[in-house]
Structures are given as C-alpha cells and as structure tokens.
Amino acid sequence: MTDQIREQMSALLDGELAPGELGLLVRRMERDAELRRAFGNYVLAGESMRAPGGITASPGFATRVSAALDDGEVVPNATPARAPRAAARFKRPLAGVAVAAGAALSWVSWRRYAHTMLVAEHVGHQAECPGCRRQGFSAAPVEETGRPMQLIAACRRCGHRWPIDVVP
C-alpha cells in the first residue's frame, strides 16, 4: 500500500477526499482485501481515540499554553556588536538542554503514536464478525460491557455480538 493510498483513506475519514478520488478509492477497496483491512484499522484507531475514557490533555491546557506564550516579553533584535563571554557560556548549555528536551518530547510523542497504532492493529484483528466473516460493526459504549477495556461489537449485517478487547 502506497503513502498516497494511506493519505486518501485518511482524507476519506476526515471528509476531505475529493469526489473524483472517492470512486477510485472505493473501487480499489472492493478489489483489495488488505486495503479493506487497513481501512478498518484506520476506522478503529479513530474510534478508539474518540472513545469515552481516552487520555486527553487536562481542561484549559491550550489556554494555559497560549497565556504563557502571550506573557513572554518580546525583545527587539538589537544585539550588541559583541556579546559578553559570560552570556555566551550560559547560552550554549541552555541550547543543549532545549535540544535534549525537544528530543525527549519527540520520543514520547512517537511512543504514544506507536501505542495507539498497536491498539488499533490489535482491535482490527478482532473486527471480523465471527458469524458472517464481514468487517465493519458498531460498538457499544465502554460502560455497557462491565470491563473498562472491552467493547461489545455488533455486526451490522447479521446482528451477531462479540467482545473486543481494546488492550493487547
């Protein structure tokens, strides 16, 4: 599967796929079982991220970040011809700390993304109806199952219900 097809599937789920590309993508999915399975994984990843009980930032997080950025004092770009040596010695370690913090943030973000994809793949393998072998189902909210990390799936075609474990 190419990156272009992945981008088209993502755009389809976001409602941003051009009408001309929609028919082509649907025809490809009709012929390609692996593409249908991948699309099911994309759908399940989105559903698991929007499911109740998901991990999100605390309320007001974006507001606090914006306020912190707005409070910063703007310094005009007027630097002396030669900066004092003490300031230069202070800036170099600070830049190193900033690079290390950026690398750590990138690593944490990547780990979270990788975990989300692992969960989506795990759920995707359970997405096929045991009754009619069809992919695609509706899921009951987490509260109805009695187990916090399990969904109850219901086949849209035959009505068969089965549990799906969300955590691998």
C-beta neighbour count of 46 within 10 angstroms = 14
Q: What is the pLDDT of residues 28-63, one digit of tens each?
A: 888 888 888 888 888 877 777 666 665 666 677 777
- What percent helix, strand, coil does the chain show, rounded to 5? 60, 10, 30
67/62 Cα distance (integer angstroms): 9
In this prediction, residue 126 has a pLDDT band, given cuts at 50, 70 and 90, of confident
Full domain range(s) for residue 167: 126-168
Measuring CA to CA, which residue among 117, 108, 123, 130 is closest to residue 167? Answer: 123
Q: What is the pLDDT of residues 95-104, one digit of tens each?
A: 777 777 787 7
Positive or negative, the Cα torsion across 85, 87, 88, 93? positive
| Residue 108 domain-assigned (yes or no) | no
Q: Which of 30, 50, 70 is the last residue of a domain?
A: 50
**What is the pLDDT at residue 76?**
46
**Tokens 């170099």 belong to which residue?**
92
| Residue 143 domain-assigned (yes or no) | yes
| Residue 166 domain-assigned (yes or no) | yes
The model carries a pTM of 0.36
- Mean predicted confidence (pLDDT) in 17-26: 85
Q: Hey, what are 33's tokens?
A: 């079982």
Measuring CA to CA, which residue among 133, 122, 132, 126 is closest to residue 153? Answer: 126
**Ranges of H-type helices in 51-155:** 61-71, 85-125
What is the count of structural domains for the chain?
A: 2
**What is the pLDDT at residue 114?**
80
Q: Which of 50, 67, 84 is the last residue of a domain?
A: 50
48/119 Cα distance (integer angstroms): 8
| Residue 98 domain-assigned (yes or no) | no
What is the overall mean pLDDT for the chain?
A: 75
Q: What is the pLDDT of residues 152-167, one digit of tens each?
A: 788 888 888 878 777 7
Instruction: Indicate the range of 31-35, 37-41, 85-89, 131-135 predicted with least confidence.
Output: 85-89
